[in-house]
Structure 1
Amino acid sequence: MITAEQVKAAVEAAGITRIEHHDCGMCGYMTAYLVEDGKLYFDPGCDCRWAGAPEPRDWRDAADWINMQSQPDIKARLAKAFGIDLPPADAA
């Protein structure tokens, strides 16, 4: 189980400032987590959902997103986007 503290530490160590989340189903804008001054935000980006400004988020949100993945390859790819290297699924 990846913790919020692990996610924050990995992101900071890797110098990551943007992690893509998903594209808007209406306009195609790529939403993302943004990192600024050690804080995490979610950028809904488009105005399709009436909120274009980045929203403060807890690092637990990012950890939960990684941990909820049921397919090991997707979980590993997502963790890597946050700077975390997971062992191969067959080694776990």
Structure 2
Amino acid sequence: MKFCDECSSMMRTEGDTWVCQSCGNEEPRDSGAEAAMTTEDEQQDDGEPPVVDGTENANETMAKPCPAEGCDGDRAYYETRPKPGGSYEVRVFTCVECGHKWRGS
């Protein structure tokens, strides 16, 4: 993938030229530079990021019934985390009573 030097938009190839999809800037293709570009096959998947302890450094709770079987807890610590691969956040709850963690809204 190549980005335009003029406007930083993603460029596409047209024959022997890179063409900017936004501003129309054109640059000659360089086979040596293209060979050095990383492909998805060469990338490493480290898996999902770990869910951190929502109780760590937390001092606020909210009314949220715990979904864990046998727990009658009705308060939970919460934090917002970016959704892996997404453009929005999810809330991660931790029950004050039993420590059970779950995602929710």
For normalisation by structure 2, the TM-score amounts to 0.25
Higher CA-based Rg: 2
For normalisation by structure 1, the TM-score amounts to 0.27
Higher helix share: 1
